[in-house]
Structure formats: C-alpha cells, structure tokens
Amino acid sequence: MDYFAGLTLKNSIKDIIDVLIVSYIVYRVIIMVRGTRAVQLLRGIFLLVVTWALSTWLNLYTLKWLMNQMFTLGVVTVLIIFQPELRRALEQLGRGKLFTRSSPEEQDTSQQINEVIKSVNYLARRKIGALIVFERNTGLNDYIESGIKMDSKLSSELLSNVFVPNTPLHDGAVIIRGSLIMAAGCYLPLSENPFISKELGTRHRAAIGVTEVCDAISVVVSEETGQISLAINGQIVRDIKEESLISKLFEELRPQFKSKGTEWKVFWKRKEGGNRG
C-alpha cells in the first residue's frame, strides 16, 4: 500500500508540474499575441471549433464534413497566417526572452529607444542635421515653451519628418518626455566650455549646453558628416556606434537598472580623452 501511495503521490506531483508548465506557456502565448491581429484570428479559430463541436453533437453530417475538411487544411493555413507571430516567438525563444518577464516601464523604454535609433539612423544616412533631447528628472518646460508644442506620440517617422530641411521645424531641438514628443524647434542654451572642439557647430554646442544646466540627454546628427553624437553631463561622445548608443540610452533612461557609476565614468573619460586629442 505504501508503494502505491508513494506512486500516486509522485504521479500527482508530475501532473501538477505538467499543468503548471502548460498553463504558463499558454499565458506567455496570450501575452505575446495580445494587441496584435492574432487575437482576431484566434477568435475565428475558436468559433470554428465550437461549430465543429455542435455539428458533432447534433449529428449535422454536412456541416461536420465541411468542418473536417477545413481542419484538414487548417494546420497549413494556421502556419501561413501566423507566420510573423511564430517567427517572433522562435526568435524570442532563441534569445531566451520568451519566458522572461519585462515590466511595462521597461517595454516603454525599449520602444522609445527603438524609435529614436531608427530615426537617427535614417537621418544620419541622408546627412540631415538633428538634435533630440530626452527630459529626465529636471523639467524642460522653459525650453519646451520656446518651441512649437506637439504633445505627440513618439514615432521614428514623425521624428524624421520634423528635421526634413527647409521645413518650419527643421531648426532647433526636439524635446522628448517619456513616450511623447513634447515640442520641436526649441531653443537651447549654448555651451561656453572653451575646451570644446572648434569643429563643433551650434547644434553640438546646444546639445552640450543643455546637459550642462540639467540632467537631460542629447543625441545629435551632424549635417556635414552624418555622424551621431551623444551628450551627457556636459560631455560629448562623437561618432558613437549604434550598439554603444543603445546601451548608454538604456542605462540612463532606466534609473532603476543603473550601475554604481564606475563603468560609465571610465567610458566617458576614455571617450573624452579621444575627442580632446
């Protein structure tokens, strides 16, 4: 009896673990497809399953035959229809991100950085000058009021269009607060640092200047060279690579994930020394 009791307990634990794993997988799939067109497709599939069940229960032979034919081709159809979602799920699984949890704030920050990176890359390839400022703890209302209020959701397309040459909002800075473009064509204070390279023009001096008077972060695209630069705390890193830019923006725009400070100080000292040389 003890043997069978132990065997039953062991099977029960396995069943519980099995149910928990399947439940979590279903939960992650729901989270992944939520807010996408896959939700409507899943509703359609659910309706077909209910129709098939009713046709079987009520012995509606013609309808049951039709449902069976649809299910025969359904696997291939689902693979075709859900191809983007399946590809994204496999990519996340390969990166180990399918079963990790990210907070809404982390997702918002990722989306914000992604839109800005797409825009600055587009502008850099075409050598279109741009100045983008991220507001952090210190409010930038004084500078926002100097420009044209937008209060628009941040997107790479809108951000790129703002800086198109010979348009009203081309000159000046764009100020971003969270996931919103607050204003464009804003005037910023110019840096008076005598050690700044003479090669840097007004746009770069404004990018440095605003970071000297507050904790904002500035991203600059050079109109002459197409180089992307990053300014923080009165220091500027010129021609920064995309990976470094993403990493630094991620670190600075998510305060709860900041390191103790040692790594970024070494990073800035190394870059500053290279720029002054």
**Per-residue pLDDT tens digits for 159-182:** 999 999 888 888 889 999 988 999
Q: Say what the pTM is.
A: 0.57
pLDDT at 185 exceeding the cut of 60: yes
- In the prediction, which pLDDT does 92 show? 60
Q: Which of 15-24, 224-233, 261-270 has the lowest mean pLDDT?
A: 261-270
Domain boundaries in the chain? 2-95, 104-276
Q: What is the pLDDT of residue 56?
A: 84
Average pLDDT of 237-261?
A: 75
User: What's the topology of domain 104-276?
Assistant: YojJ-like (1 (3.40.1700)
CA dist., res. 152 & res. 4, Å (int): 66
What pLDDT does 160 receive? 92
**58-88 per-position pLDDT tens digit:** 888 888 788 777 777 776 776 776 666 666 6
**To the nearest whole percent, how much of the chain has pLDDT over 90?**
28
Q: What is the pLDDT of residues 129-142, one digit of tens each?
A: 999 999 988 888 88
Residue pointed to by tokens 């497809």: 33
- Residue 197: CB partners within 8 Å, gap ≥ 6? 275, 276
Alpha helices, H only, 156-241: 156-162, 202-213
Exposure b/e, 83-109, CB count within 10 A at least 16 = b: eebeeebeeeeeeeebeeeeeeeeeeb
| Res 106: pLDDT | 56
| 94: Cα within 13 Å, side-chain hemisphere | 6
Residue 189 burial (CB count, 10 A): 15
Report the pLDDT averaged over residues 30-35: 63
Cα-to-chain-centroid distance, residue 58: 50
Tell me, what's the pLDDT at 122?
93
With a cut of 60, say whether residue 275 has pLDDT above it: no
Name which of 107, 85, 89, 108 is nearest 99 in CA terms.
89
